[in-house]
Structure 1
Amino acid sequence: MVEILGKYVTEINDILWTYILIAMLICVGVYFTFRSKFVQFRSLGEMFRLLGEGTSRSKGISSFQAFCISTAARVGTGNITGVAIAIALGGPGAVFWMWLIALIGSASAFVEATLAQIYKIKDGSTFRGGPAYYMEKALGQRWMGVLFAILITLCFGLVFNSVQANTITVAFKSTYGLDRMTLGVILTVALGMVIFGGVKRVAKVTEIIVPIMATAYILLAFYVLVTNIPALPTLIKNIFSGAFGLQQVVGGGIGAAMMQGIKRGLFSNEAGMGSAPNASATASVSHPVKQGLIQSLGVFVDTLIICSSTAFIVLISGAYSVEGLEGIEIAQQALNMEVGVWAEHFLTIAILLFAFTSLVGNYYYGETNIEFIKTSKAWLFIYRIAVLAMVIWGSVTQVQMVWNMADLFMGLMAIINLIAIALLGKIAFAALKDYNHQRSEGKDPVFYANSIPGLKNIECWDEQKETEVKAG
């Protein structure tokens, strides 16, 4: 029965990801890029300025903390294992298509994060929101929001967390011979201490771990690049020739490179998927566009910097062409070849940090969507226990079927969100116009419910008026 179900899920995923979802993500991303007048490129300097500004806020969840929560969920083992697999299956050219989808998708990330900010609601001393909220408030379709909330909770909160736990325990078993169940229990206790502390504790943990984790990994990649400078021209040439070369076109390799690069880029940065907006909504900012720009930057950080770090290490070493290696083994072999045997230990620790922060970020996405369906301490408690149970289960099991189910839930979730943001994109563009107008006048932009004519069901931006003016 399980085998039959797995076969059907695989077939559905092939159709969903090969034809429907990738086409939707590219079309919507290109449309948003042109409609926003290339906001992801024009506003790059502003993004970095806002990220620095976001670290100084003391009340609620800062924009930097929200950035870290979403980055925690984005930056998982896919940035190491996934990129290695993409290169192994699609060749060096997959890296180019991974870059391209990030450049396009960052416009979608801007739109969904801005919408999440506009339609966020109060949650005690903080805020919450996301696609489910703007589907109900802006489109008037609560059923659509409930369906999305169920899918993202199952996908991120439960299924993806079991996969992350599995990756951690397999890595430590391989490197140190540690018992997977014992490590799973330790992991579950550590995660429980974080998630039962609430969203502020989630924010604090990710704010500390994410920058350290990402910086250490990037520095290692930079070291590999510096020690292999003569190989860089060939590396860049191989990436572009693999993406466009005549040999690849004739042999059909360009199709493999394109599909692997696009799929891995989408899985990694999640632009348009509807996950990161849940974190974006928690930020306390004076204008929704501020968080939209910061989350757009998050796509660049994830794909153009962290994924590229893995890609360069794997390509320079040539480990992707070694027969018999799969997934994380490719990355481990690449580091061993370029840095030394100690790199295996570094990578194991890096996987722990990458995957643990993903556990935290994924958990939060489920929490905020459960609260959308029904505000209930009992349901939230049950969800937390379910998350911890899935971590234990994922720590000791084989999860290929779980990965396939996660692909299915994530694909369906993304389709629903893409339809919603395509219909609501004009609101984000109006907010961007208001933001740019205020900036041109030398102001620190402040947003009110009446800043965009015709907006309805806005809960926060009138209540925040006095607070946000002072914050600005």
Structure 2
Amino acid sequence: MNFIEKVNDYIWSNYLIILCISSGIYYSVKYNFLQITLIKDMLKLLFQKSNSTQGISSFQAFTLAISGRIGTGNIAGVATAIAMGGPGALFWMWIIAFLGSASAIIEASLAQLYKEKSSVYFIGGPAFYIKKGLNSKIGAITFSVVTIISTGFLLPSVQSNSISLANTEAFQFPKELVGIILVVLVASIVIGGVKRIGRLTELIVPFMALGYIMMALIIIMLNINKLPDIFVLIVSSGTSLHSFYGGIVGSAIAWGIKRGIYSNESGQGTAPHAAAAAAVTHPIKQGLVQGFSVYIDTLFVCTATGLMILFTNQFNVMDTEGGFLINNLKDVQMGPAYTQYAIAKHFPSIGKEFVAISLTFFAFTTILAYYYIAETNVKFLFRKRRWAVYLVQFLLFTSVYLGAITTAKNAWTLGDIGVGLMAWINLISIFLLRNVFSILYKDYRNQKNTGKDPVFDNSKYKIENVDCWNSK
């Protein structure tokens, strides 16, 4: 794996981290911090009804995207960030959530604008706006190939690996058995198509997220007297103000941003696939819904995990030389076990089991979201050739099983490569399309300012290759 690790380090260099931060800052300033000023619209649009038979509802698109965002990154990813960057990594996860929400709004709006009508629903994503908006067929094909490999093979293994580790820790299930069960469950659902995935995630995601946050709130209330000190610890550790953690502030920034992006997917190019499937009257509407999902993922779920771990001191922190700055959990591998031990400290009879069940739901729905993304890009490249869809399904099932039986290090390294490659292509693409987004943004604000429910009609602007919006 040494070569693979070097590839990962090259892709996730400081240049990508700078690109993620600078993009978010640029969009925030240029569009008047729309991720804050339009938050009321986000909440209202989330539950707006749709009577279309060709698209899923805004709420289904939201839960489909949330199922992709909320997953292993919220439990194992947060633990890994703290282990490698200290408590300050959580601070930088907050920063990238705030800045990344702006990027998420833009990529989702563009996906809506350049979506296409399939036989029964809308499809779209970065490959579509790269081809249609930038007139780059090569760029679109490149992104599609990278995304098929990433979401069809590399990333599902991360999710199944964490499911396997958590259930092995809690229930002593053999990894091979976990892998087989996961493959059977995934196969029984992905064949149902996007409508069925939308219904499933709409049912499961809100309840699993609420249950997990409720458990976190209970633990927070049990440790409420520690909250001010923990908040100061998080902020000071992430800003060189803490005497003990000051030496690893660079790691806090790098791992906070890296795991934040992995978790909330802002700017990564995966969530726009769900955004494109929604039936709305204006592209910005779905963009705002997707921007809000970034907040749910990081500010609520990731923060809940981080606070549980820090309140209970169930974590280790590595130094820059590979040793330990903090070694509270001897011989415990970083990952979901940190969260399992954190909850078990207050609820020893159910702690590990609760995390295993929560993580299973989080990661399982993420696998389904990955498949939808992979299938969308297969259809972009191969249209109605069923053999291509069957091939991706085979890759997915293989990935799920192999991920369950391999090591966490192998799974995460390969997953990070996929995320990084998609982020490079997508972030550059949406920056090049910023002027198109400006048209959408101004149109939305102008209609809102006159008291209208925004409806986008492209006949006013003559944007090319947006057939779905030429007459609304």
Q: Smaller-chain TM-score range?
A: over 0.9
3-state SS in 1 of match to 2:371:
helix
3-state SS in 1 of match to 2:468:
coil
Given the alignment of the two structures, is residue 428 of structure 1 paired with residue 437 of structure 2, yes or no? yes
Instruction: Tell whether the 8 Å contact from 1:151 to 1:410 is kept in structure 2 after alignment.
Output: no
**Deviations 1:21-63 (Å, cap 9, x if unpaired)?**
1111111111111111100000011100100215x65633011
3-state SS in 2 of match to 1:53:
coil
One-letter amino acid matched to 1:388: F
Distance (whole Å) between structure 2 residues aligned to residue 41 and residue 205 of structure 1: 30
3-state SS in 1 of match to 2:97:
helix
Higher mean C-alpha deviation, range 288-297 or range 263-272? 263-272
Instruction: Tell whether the 8 Å contact from 1:113 to 1:277 is kept in structure 2 after alignment.
Output: yes
| 1:469 alignment counterpart | none
Structure 2, unpaired ranges of 5+:
317-327
| 2:152 alignment counterpart | 157
| 1:122 alignment counterpart | 117
Structure 1, unpaired ranges of 5+:
1-5, 466-472
Given the alignment of the two structures, is residue 407 of structure 1 paired with residue 413 of structure 2, yes or no? no
Number of residue pairs matched?
A: 457
Identity fraction in percent: 39
Distance (whole Å) between structure 2 residues aligned to residue 167 and residue 95 of structure 1: 20
Given the alignment of the two structures, is residue 189 of structure 1 paired with residue 184 of structure 2, yes or no? yes
**1:67-466 to 2 correspondence within 5 Å?**
67-248=62-243, 251-321=246-316, 322-324=328-330, 325=332, 326-375=334-383, 376-398=385-407, 400-451=409-460, 453-462=461-470, 465=472
More helix by share: 1
Instruction: Tell whether the 8 Å contact from 1:224 to 1:339 is kept in structure 2 after alignment.
Output: no
State the Cα distance separating 1:201 from its structure 2 match.
0.6
Higher mean C-alpha deviation, range 352-361 or range 179-188? 179-188
**Deviations 1:419-445 (Å, cap 9, x if unpaired)?**
110010121121111111111222111
Given the alignment of the two structures, is residue 66 of structure 1 paired with residue 61 of structure 2, yes or no? yes
Instruction: Tell whether the 8 Å contact from 1:18 to 1:259 is kept in structure 2 after alignment.
Output: no
Distance (whole Å) between structure 2 residues aligned to residue 258 and residue 185 of structure 1: 38
Distance (whole Å) between structure 2 residues aligned to residue 148 and residue 128 of structure 1: 16
Distance (whole Å) between structure 2 residues aligned to residue 13 and residue 187 of structure 1: 27
Distance (whole Å) between structure 2 residues aligned to residue 154 and residue 281 of structure 1: 21
State the Cα distance separating 1:307 from its structure 2 match.
0.2
Instruction: Tell whether the 8 Å contact from 1:68 to 1:210 is kept in structure 2 after alignment.
Output: yes
Structure 1 residues 365 and 392: CA distance shift in structure 2, 3 A = same
Structure 1 residues 179 and 11: CA distance shift in structure 2, 3 A = closer
**Deviations 1:399-423 (Å, cap 9, x if unpaired)?**
5334323222321221111111001
Structure 1 residues 313 and 337: CA distance shift in structure 2, 3 A = same
3-state SS in 2 of match to 1:286:
coil
Structure 1 residues 132 and 232: CA distance shift in structure 2, 3 A = same
**Deviations 1:48-96 (Å, cap 9, x if unpaired)?**
0100215x65633011111111111111111011111211222221111
**Deviations 1:287-320 (Å, cap 9, x if unpaired)?**
0000000000011110000000001101110111
Distance (whole Å) between structure 1 residues aligned to residue 374 and residue 17 of structure 2: 24
Distance (whole Å) between structure 2 residues aligned to residue 57 and residue 71 of structure 1: 22
Instruction: Tell whether the 8 Å contact from 1:17 to 1:411 is kept in structure 2 after alignment.
Output: yes
Structure 1 residues 205 and 181: CA distance shift in structure 2, 3 A = same
State the Cα distance separating 1:269 from its structure 2 match.
0.8
Q: CA RMSD in A?
A: 1.7
Instruction: Tell whether the 8 Å contact from 1:35 to 1:429 is kept in structure 2 after alignment.
Output: no
Higher mean C-alpha deviation, range 246-255 or range 387-396? 246-255
- Counterpart of 1:13 (choices 8, 12, 18) is 8
State the Cα distance separating 1:198 from its structure 2 match.
0.7
Normalised TM-score (structure 1): 0.93
One-letter amino acid matched to 1:426: N
| 1:3 alignment counterpart | none
Distance (whole Å) between structure 2 residues aligned to residue 139 and residue 25 of structure 1: 21
3-state SS in 2 of match to 1:457:
coil
Instruction: Tell whether the 8 Å contact from 2:237 to 2:246 is kept in structure 1 after alignment.
Output: no
State the Cα distance separating 1:244 from its structure 2 match.
2.4
Distance (whole Å) between structure 2 residues aligned to residue 222 and residue 39 of structure 1: 29
State the Cα distance separating 1:261 from its structure 2 match.
1.3
Higher mean C-alpha deviation, range 113-122 or range 328-337? 328-337
Distance (whole Å) between structure 2 residues aligned to residue 385 and residue 441 of structure 1: 52
Distance (whole Å) between structure 2 residues aligned to residue 82 and residue 140 of structure 1: 36
Normalised TM-score (structure 2): 0.93
